[in-house]
């Protein structure tokens, strides 16, 4: 380890590079991280706007949406007094693309792409990723996948409309959805994205195994790095399964095969098994980095070591292992043998335990702290609070009999938004926390706090009442709730949710404004504005190509806040207190 680190140090000097090599085809992990961030933020606007249209239709079915009449028929129909009416086919495309974009083109690029790239080398104390060229390729292949996915909006027939799960047989034959090229491009885009993710994950794993600074043992790594390490391993193993399934689906659509089509001897449930065998690890690919980031931020601003560091690391490892044997809980009423449902219920109940351990340890971290309620801290606490609700609501659907009723209802929609959309709280926490290191400027703290308060209120306003709808039996993915007598008495909740969602969307302009303004004119950032311990804060702000002037040496774990060894309430990982303390293990 120390050999590679030393070898790496020798190419620490980087010549001046031109504009293109610095900003576009950059090999610098920090620039690639920023590129992923800008791409992800661009896509969150697209994904968010799609959600607004979905919500509009559910609250005021078939009422014209103002300003939407620029889209031609048959995708949008003109309203009598202006605006555009969303037809059912377009509605299906809207929620399909909303989920696809938010999962694959927002949460993955930002949580894994941005923070993985930016933080891994800095936090483990090395100059760059193990394979900088592969890293650059990973971004540009990802960008290509994004372009293909966006292109599917403008092909004849519109984008994919079979749900982000693209269940066979619906998505396996054009005639069933009426979408030909949109669904082809959806598949092709995700095939390309899989290549990008594979390159990224190989890079992360290699870098973390081989390039840690001297003294940075595995159990001195920040939990953010642990979470990204485990995420990369899950990505490496899960993505090929999706790739295989997608290829089979594409062949069924264009080459006349019958992997998933019963008329040719295929099996529609095979798609579900393959999709969720990838899909459930995928959920943890999305949420683990959020957990890691949250752990670091809670510890920093509680001025206190993380509670149960080893329990935190091992619970993530446990989640990673268990995530491979729970996929069947998406399929309790799918028609698979009910005995399998019983088995998957058992494993699903078990995976709730490490998640609970994490929440309790976050609480333990707050206990006895000296808590600073900065904007990253508020968002991290928001993540914990949402994850708590999302985790607890998951117990209902883990129970097979209860799932009979709530499966495919808004109860599920509420549950996964508390978990997956809840990740945006960790995302914002991370942006506010590392923005100074990333861009050398500080974001406006007052605006950030207003952003938090509004986001927290409207997030819960938008997603909590979905539980009520679900308990009432409100199906997901329906175009018009007013077509059902038993749903009519609950329609006021749909209106309430939509208004909250619109306000949630509007509140994000505060973030957007703060982000852009701070990027251009924010106050110059200090090297270590949060008085944090991890190695990225010992690098210059922003860190130059190559990161560290001198190879950092690590003497202790990342969470030595309020240590009795020093007067200050923080103790950086690389601070040498003299020979007597260097051997002190975490």
Partner 1 sequence: MLSWLPEDVSTYGHEIDSLFYLIYYITGATFILVTALMVIFLIKYREQPGRRATYSHGNTTLEIIWTIIPAVILIVLAFMSASSWAKIKRHVPNTDFELRIVAKQFNWEVNYPGADKKLGTDDDIKFDNDLHVPVNKPIRLVMTAADVIHSFFIPNMRFKQDIVPGREIVGWFEATKPGRYELPCAELCGFGHSGMKGWLFVHTPEDYQKWANENLAPKAQ
Q: Which is nearer to partner 1, 9 or 445 (CB)?
A: 445
CB of 365 to partner 1, least distance (A): 9
- Estimate the crossing angle of helix 338-366 against helix 309-322, to 10 degrees: 160
Q: Which is nearer to partner 1, 436 or 470 (CB)?
A: 470
Q: Please answer whether residues 573 and 558 qualify as being in contact, where contact means their C-beta atoms are separated by less than 8 angstroms.
A: yes
CB of 82 to partner 1, least distance (A): 25
Q: Which is nearer to partner 1, 227 or 563 (CB)?
A: 563
CB of 99 to partner 1, least distance (A): 12
* Beta-strand relationship, 441-442 and 523-524: antiparallel
| Burial tier of 67 (Cβ tally within 10 Å: 0-12, 13-18, 19+) | exposed
Q: What are the structure tokens assigned to 216, written together?
A: 């940075």
CA-CA-CA-CA torsion sign (319, 325, 329, 331) = positive
CB of 308 to partner 1, least distance (A): 4
Q: Which is nearer to partner 1, 25 or 60 (CB)?
A: 60
Q: Which is nearer to partner 1, 72 or 74 (CB)?
A: 74
Q: Please answer whether residues 582 and 554 qualify as being in contact, where contact means their C-beta atoms are separated by less than 8 angstroms.
A: no
Q: Which is nearer to partner 1, 22 or 165 (CB)?
A: 165
Q: Cα 508 vs. chain centroid, distance in angstroms?
A: 17
Q: Please answer whether residues 228 and 119 qualify as being in contact, where contact means their C-beta atoms are separated by less than 8 angstroms.
A: yes
CB of 317 to partner 1, least distance (A): 14
| Burial tier of 308 (Cβ tally within 10 Å: 0-12, 13-18, 19+) | middle
Q: DSSP labels for 426-465? A: HHHHHHHHHHHHHHSEE--HHHHHHHHHHHHHHHHHHHTH
For the beta carbon of residue 6, count every other beta carbon within 10 angstroms.
11
CB of 371 to partner 1, least distance (A): 5
Residue 436 neighbours by CB under 8 Å, 6+ apart: 442, 443, 525, 526, 529, 541
List the one residue out of 356, 352, 233, 363 whose CA is nearest residue 295.
363
CB of 132 to partner 1, least distance (A): 36
CB of 32 to partner 1, least distance (A): 35
- Side-chain-side CA neighbours of 130 within 13 Å: the count stands at 17
Q: Which is nearer to partner 1, 280 or 415 (CB)?
A: 415
Q: Which is nearer to partner 1, 256 or 401 (CB)?
A: 401
Q: Which is nearer to partner 1, 325 or 356 (CB)?
A: 356
Separation CA 270–CA 459 (nearest Å): 36
Q: Which is nearer to partner 1, 122 or 171 (CB)?
A: 171
Q: Please answer whether residues 330 and 272 qualify as being in contact, where contact means their C-beta atoms are separated by less than 8 angstroms.
A: yes
CB of 494 to partner 1, least distance (A): 13
Q: How far apart are the first and last CA of the chain?
A: 19
CB of 352 to partner 1, least distance (A): 6
CB of 95 to partner 1, least distance (A): 9
Q: Which is nearer to partner 1, 170 or 233 (CB)?
A: 170
Q: What are the structure tokens assigned to 191, written together?
A: 């095939």
Q: DSSP labels for 163-208? A: TTTT-TTTTTSHHHHT-SHHHHHHHHHHHHHHHHHHHHHHHHHHHH
Q: Please answer whether residues 278 and 323 qualify as being in contact, where contact means their C-beta atoms are separated by less than 8 angstroms.
A: no
Indicate left, alpha or beta for 298 from its phi (over 0: left) and psi (-120 to 50: alpha): alpha
CB of 409 to partner 1, least distance (A): 7
Q: Please answer whether residues 352 and 395 qualify as being in contact, where contact means their C-beta atoms are separated by less than 8 angstroms.
A: yes
Q: Which is nearer to partner 1, 6 or 346 (CB)?
A: 346
CB of 502 to partner 1, least distance (A): 22
Residue 100 neighbours by CB under 8 Å, 6+ apart: 149, 160, 164, 186, 190
Q: Which is nearer to partner 1, 80 or 485 (CB)?
A: 485
């Amino acid at each position: 380890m120390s050999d590679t680190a030393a070898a790496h140090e020798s190419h620490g000097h980087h010549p001046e590079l031109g504009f293109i090599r610095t900003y576009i085809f950059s090999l610098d992990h920090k620039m690639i991280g920023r590129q992923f961030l800008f791409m992800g933020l661009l896509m969150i606007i697209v994904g968010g706007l799609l959600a607004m249209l979905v919500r509009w239709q559910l609250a005021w079915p078939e009422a014209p949406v103002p300003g939407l009449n620029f889209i031609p028929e048959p995708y949008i129909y003109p309203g009598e007094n202006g605006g555009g009416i969303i037809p059912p086919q377009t509605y299906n495309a809207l929620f399909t693309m909303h989920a696809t974009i938010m999962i694959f083109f927002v949460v993955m690029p930002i949580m894994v792409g941005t923070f993985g790239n930016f933080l891994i080398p800095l936090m483990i104390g090395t100059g760059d990723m193990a394979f900088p060229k592969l890293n650059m390729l990973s971004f540009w292949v990802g960008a290509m996948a994004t372009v293909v996915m966006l292109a599917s909006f403008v092909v004849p027939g519109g984008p994919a409309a079979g749900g982000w799960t693209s269940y066979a047989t619906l998505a396996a034959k054009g005639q069933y959805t009426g979408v030909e090229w949109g669904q082809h491009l959806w598949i092709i885009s995700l095939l390309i994205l899989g290549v990008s993710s594979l390159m990224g994950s190989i890079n992360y794993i290699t870098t973390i195994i081989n390039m840690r600074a001297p003294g940075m043992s595995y159990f001195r790594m920040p939990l953010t790095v642990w979470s990204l390490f485990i995420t990369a391993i899950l990505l490496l193993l899960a993505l090929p399964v999706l790739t295989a399934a997608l290829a089979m689906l594409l062949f069924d659509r264009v080459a006349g095969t019958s992997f998933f089509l019963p008329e040719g001897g295929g099996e529609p449930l095979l798609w579900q098994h393959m999709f969720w065998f990838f899909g459930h690890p995928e959920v943890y690919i999305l949420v683990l980095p959020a957990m890691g980031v949250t752990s670091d931020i809670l510890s920093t601003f509680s001025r206190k070591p993380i509670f149960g560091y080893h329990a935190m690391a091992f619970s993530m490892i446990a989640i990673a292992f268990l995530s491979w044997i729970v996929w069947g809980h998406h399929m309790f009423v799918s028609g698979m043998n009910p005995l399998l449902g019983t088995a998957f219920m058992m494993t699903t109940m078990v995976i709730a335990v490490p998640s609970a351990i994490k929440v309790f340890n976050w609480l333990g971290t707050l206990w006895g702290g000296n808590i600073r309620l900065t904007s990253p801290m508020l968002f991290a606490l928001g993540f914990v609070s949402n994850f708590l609700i999302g985790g607890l609501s998951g117990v209902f659907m883990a129970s097979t009999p209860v799932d009979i009723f709530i499966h495919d209802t808004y109860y599920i929609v509420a549950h996964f938004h508390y978990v997956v959309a809840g990740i945006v709280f960790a995302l914002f926490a991370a942006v506010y926390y590392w923005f100074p290191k990333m861009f050398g400027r500080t974001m406006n703290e007052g605006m950030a706090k207003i952003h938090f308060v509004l986001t927290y209120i409207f997030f819960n306003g938008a997603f909590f009442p979905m539980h009520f709808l679900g308990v009432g039996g409100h199906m997901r993915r329906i175009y018009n709730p007013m077509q059902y007598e038993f749903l009519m008495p609950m329609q006021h909740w749909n209106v309430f949710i939509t208004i909250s969602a619109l306000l949630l969307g509007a509140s994000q302009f505060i973030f957007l404004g703060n982000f852009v303004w701070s990027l251009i004119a924010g106050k110059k950032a200090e090297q270590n504005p949060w008085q944090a311990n991890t190695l990225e804060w010992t690098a210059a702000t922003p860190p130059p190509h190559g990161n560290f002037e001198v190879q950092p040496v690590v003497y202790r774990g990342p969470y030595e806040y309020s240590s009795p060894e020093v007067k200050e309430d923080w103790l950086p990982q690389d601070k040498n207190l003299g020979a007597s303390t260097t051997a002190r293990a975490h």
